[in-house]
Structure 1
Amino acid sequence: MTARSRTEDQVKAALRVVEEAEATPEEKAEMLMEVAMGLQQKPQAAEDLEAALQLYALALDLCPPEQALLAARIRARRGTALLAFPAEGAETIAAARDTFEAALETLRAEGAAEEVAEAEMNLGLALQNLAGAQMARIQDAIGAYQRALRTFDRQRFPKEFAILQNNLATAFLSIPFTDERGKMREALAVQAFEEGLSVVSLIDHPSEYAMLQNNLGNALQYVSSSHRVENGLRALEAYDEALKVRSARTAPGEYANTIANKANCLANLPDDPADPAAGNAHNCAAAIALYREAMAIFQDLGEGEKSTTLQLAIAELAGETEPESLRANGA
């Protein structure tokens, strides 16, 4: 059975149950929302998210006008499906933003604090994505994250706190470095990554731990500082921590991203930090090996753009001018 036919069967079954059930419109709307959330939780294909969006729309149609809080909850869940939906352009993300903003009008008045904070966090994600397309202000995304942190504090919600710190840090780093405040934002980003890491652990929150370590490594590697070598060595440590979680077998894309980041760092570090003038031939060789490993994984995953970028990086380090020559050598 294909993913599409399996999803269609699930949707038909859900609709049949709702149609035949002796339940109020409110209860039927809740049923549809629950089924949609199940489809969305571990989608196997875009069809699962399409079906979830369809069910959320039907749930909103069924929801009685006087059940404003339920409608807001459905909208908030629909927004997360829109955020996750793979689509060209920014229209789907813009729809997610509008959906979160509509949900928050009611959630702020009637919902639980955790519901409001979750919607604010997701609104921030939508705004941050739109800011990259010049369709929103990154400062508005930062504001949404900071509002979410009023509820998602480090003591009661360590996982959410860590994710928000990661999002804040990446938002700070996305602001163009055009003035003296840029250095302050870089420092705030590094501080935010470290704040997130202070509440998650390798054992209890492996995914968040790896994400934060990888992104901390990136921030340290590219931050404007006179301590370039020191920061680079700290970045290598962060990548190695991330690689305790990310493996080629269990998370090939994330693993490839991290080893490519580590290769970038190695390529710019001297072999002997105490004697930078001695060069970095050893580190460059290690970087090329990591680039090649990452490139092969990206090729297998069909991520041609990333593969080409690494091919060019290998060519530069190897002293080549044409990437084609590397293909002949098995790069």
Structure 2
Amino acid sequence: MIEEIFGAGSIAYQVVKDYSTRRQILRKYYNFSWKQSAGIEPEPFFGYRFKYYNDYYFSRKEDNKIEKSIKNNKNILILGRPMSGKSRAAFEVFKKLEESCFIIKPRAVDIEIDEFRLPSLPGNRKRVLFLDDLHIFAEKKNFHYLFEVAREKKLIIVATCRSEFEYDFLKKKLPTNISVEDIFDTIIDYPKISTPEAQSIALDLDIDWSEANFDGTIGSLIMKLGSMETRYKKLNQKEKAILRILKKLYCAGISEEDKFFFIDTIRDFAKAKGIIHTDNDLDQILVSLISKEFIENPEENVYQVEEIYLEKIFDFDTKTNRISIFHDMASVFHESPNILVKVAIKAYSLGLVRYKKSAYTKISIETFGEALKVYTFHEFPKQYALIQNDLGNAYGSLAEVEDKKNNFKKAIKAYEEALRVYSFDKFPIQYAMIRNNMGTAYGGLAEIMVDKKNNLEKAIEAFEEALRVYTFDKFPIQCAMTQNNMGTIYSDLAEILVDKESNLEIAIEAFEKALRVYTFDRFPIQYATVQNNMGIVYSKLADIEDKKSNLEKAIKVYKEALKVYSFDEFPSGYAMVQNNMGTVYSKFADIEDKKSNLEKAIKAYKEALRVYTFDEFFIDYSMVQKNIGIAYSKLAGIEDKEK
């Protein structure tokens, strides 16, 4: 009897424990889950920006495109400047949908793939994954996993993203096998509103025009930025200095979700810079800034700042530049590895899109190195492995602009360190990711003729290891990406006369496997890329066997690529494929219909020159012009004989 009661109690305890764990995970990853669109309330939807919510709404024609996309089960990305009304537009559309749907809104946090779960899905109604400020998600670990979950569960994705820099950053942060166009069926950009429209809105809302500092966005009216700028100018020097510190922390990636700042972080930096001397000094300044509505104190030891104030109102002192901020952070927080990692990740991210790529990436590498002095292999193995993978990515990025040989070697060394922790048995997903990264790095070494055969073989070995995890059943997208990478490597291996025919045939087989996932309908850009890659291999194979048959296959797959790579939408891809087709037609001329095929080759080359102009693509322009010259020379010989 005692044993029975004890057993039942144990089961009940476990049920409660499991439920509690699920609740914690839900709170960690979601602002809210599965709310009916018609009944959604502004406070949970807008979060800390609810305080700016106003019943007034300025509708625009772009709203109809959002509604139409959801109605047709299509994913949509809403672009626009800060404060242009992207989130509000989505909210208003959700509220008035004819067919109500369920909405889930994830938080912009790092995703642990092993624990991340989508809450159970209600009913058979439409379900929408709303990703507000997608560029912020792009800064987080494994953010792309959200897209895989959405695809698997057939969720409609509605996302907002700032245009210009943030949009470029988003595109850079997506995995190489995914593009924005693959994810979103529709991409719209919310335009500026005119000054007369803004003045009319200000009149309706009883807003003093002088307080607005209107910049073409609806938000600049609602948030009264002009009034806040005037107030900022009246602050004393120490108050401004603290707000500048918040801006620097923000720029270096040290703020938390929703622009929270921990008081310890603010205090440490302020003391290091001699702005304050005691904790009481800082407390007094913060109290004053709260009273003047520049910051809020939502919970103990945490301060919150409106992002637009950080970007548009708080200035820098004259000695500050973006690069120096990162050096300052690394110096002040050299004993805080968790902060160093954030700084390093932010610097790496900026290096992807800023013009000072080398400088930002080197800061990232140095700062990761500082973090590893604390996060050692023996004491913090998981953090050690994660940083080593990020370090490898940073070295790989740096290799794109300088010292390819040494930086690719350093990248590989970092990946090898990560694999000391991320074994196939214990961490299969991370293992596969790093193996794929290693394969790419070995391929990069081979491209610059560093022990080419050996590095290509190591790349193949790394990709094969990744495919132990990336199976078609469990990870179809990653599998297709790796198969495409494998095909490219085998094609390169054939170039150095290592079992040329066999390696080309293996390359084609790998590309065909990739196309099982990369279909024209689901992944058009990847579909076109793989088709072009196959064309190159068929053209090479034609040089050693079944020339006519393989050239015909090359033409066929190039035409498939051109279904996606149109002149208007993908000019560079269009030109690349047209040049490749020209080369195939030129080879065809050696075996049949010489005049006709040379004319087709010349026509294809001329199509490539519509993109490859002298001013913008001098090297490509010269290459194609040379090809045209050779084709015309051959054609002239035929026409002379005919005469």
TM-score (norm. length: structure 2) = 0.43
Alignment correspondent of 1:328: none
2:439 aligned partner = 124
Structure 1 counterpart of 2:470, from 152, 155, 159: 152
Cα distance in 1 for partners of 2:449, 2:607 equals 35
Partner of 2:631: 317
Q: CA deviation at 1:89?
A: 4.3
Change (3 A) 1:38 1:206: farther
Q: Return 5+ residue gaps in structure 1 as ranges.
A: 322-331
Aligned to 2:314: none
Partner Cα distance (1:290, 1:11) in 2: 53
Amino acid across the alignment from 2:632: A
What amino acid is the match of 1:294?
A
The whole-number CA distance in structure 2 between the counterparts of 1:202 and 1:301 is: 33
Cα 1:61/1:179, change in 2 over 3 Å: closer
- Number of residue equivalences: 309
- Quick one: structure 1 residues 11 and 236, their matched pair in 2 at CA, closer, same or farther if it must change by over 3 Å? farther
Give, in angstroms, the shift of residue 176 of structure 1.
5.0
1:237 aligns with 2:556: yes
Q: Matched residues in 1 for 2:348 and 2:608: separation?
A: 34
Whether the 8 Å CA contact 2:535–2:555 is kept in 1: the answer is: yes
Pick closer, same or farther for the CA change 1:219–1:71 going to 2, 3 Å.
same
Within 5 A, what are the aligned runs for 1:232-311?
232-269=551-588, 277=592, 279-299=593-613, 302-311=616-625
**Alignment CA distance shift 1:281-1:141 (3 Å):** same
Does the alignment pair 1:44 with 2:44? Answer: no
Match 2:520 to one of 202, 208, 213: 202
Q: CA deviation at 1:242?
A: 1.4
Structure 2 match to 1:69: 382
In structure 2, the CA distance between the partners of 1:260 and 1:177, relative to structure 1 (3 Å rule), is: closer
Tell me by how many angstroms 1:83 deviates: 2.3
SS of 1:78 mapped into structure 2: helix
How far apart, CA to CA, are the structure 2 residues paired with 1:72 and 1:237? 45
* 1:16 Cα deviation after fit: 7.7
Unmatched 5+ stretches in structure 2: 1-163, 170-245, 266-334, 636-643
> What's the offset of the Cα at 1:281?
2.3
- The residue that corresponds to 1:327 in the other structure is none
Aligned alpha-carbon RMSD (Å): 3.4
Partner Cα distance (2:573, 2:481) in 1: 16
User: 1:94: Cα distance to partner?
Assistant: 2.5
Q: Is the 8 A contact 1:263 1:291 kept in 2?
A: yes
Are the counterparts in 2 of residues 159 and 205 from structure 1 also a CA contact under 8 Å?
no
Q: Which moved more, 1:117-126 or 1:170-179?
A: 170-179
State the distance in 2 between where 1:72 and 1:35 align: 18
SS in 2 for 1:240: helix
Please tell me whether residue 58 in structure 1 is matched to residue 377 in structure 2: no
TM-score w.r.t. the length of structure 1 is 0.79
SS in 2 for 1:248: coil
8 Å CA contact retained: 2:575, 2:607? yes
What secondary structure does 2:520 align onto?
A: coil
Deviation by residue 1:2-39 (Cα, 9 ceiling, x = unmatched): 98xxx9x9976343846963479354245335535643
- Which of 115, 138, 148 aligns to 2:430? It is 115
> 2: distance between equivalents of 1:167 and 1:17?
35
* 1:234 CA drift (Å): 1.4
Shift of the 189–205 alpha-carbon distance from structure 1 to 2, 3 Å rule, reads same
Distance 1:251 1:79, change over 3 A: farther
| Structure number, greater radius of gyration | 2
Structure number having the greater helix percentage: 1
Distance 2:569 2:394 in 1: 24
**Separation in 1, partners of 2:395, 2:575:** 27
Whichever residue aligns with residue 342 of structure 2, its letter is M
User: What CA distance in whole angstroms lies between the structure 1 residues aligned with 2:545 and 2:370?
Assistant: 59
Q: Deviations over 1:178-210 (max 9, x none)?
A: 778322112111111111112221222223211
Residues 74-129 of structure 1, C-alpha deviation per residue, up to 9 Å, x if partnerless?
22123223323432442332332222222222322897312111111111111122
The aligned counterpart of 2:72 is: none
Amino acid at match of 1:123: M
Change (3 A) 1:179 1:251: closer
Q: Contact 2:347/2:364 (CA < 8 Å) preserved in 1?
A: yes
Letter in 2 for 1:173: S
In the alignment, the residues of structure 1 paired with residue 340 and residue 424 of structure 2 have an alpha-carbon distance, to the nearest angstrom, of 21
Taking the aligned partners of 2:247 and 2:553, their CA distance within structure 1 comes to: 49
Alignment partner of 1:32 out of 343, 349, 352: 343
Identity %: 22
Rate the CA distance shift 1:176–1:214 in 2: closer, same or farther, 3 A: closer
Mean CA deviation greater in 211-220 or 279-288? 279-288
Q: Indicate if the aligned counterparts of 1:18 and 1:31 stay in contact, CA closer than 8 A.
A: no
Q: Does the residue aligned with 1:199 lie in a helix, a strand or coil?
A: coil
1:262 and 1:287 in contact (8 A); partners too:
yes
Question: What's the counterpart of residue 165 of structure 1?
Answer: 483
Structure 2 CA distance for partners of 1:88 and 1:51, relative to 1, 3 Å: closer
Q: Is the 8 A contact 1:75 1:103 kept in 2?
A: yes
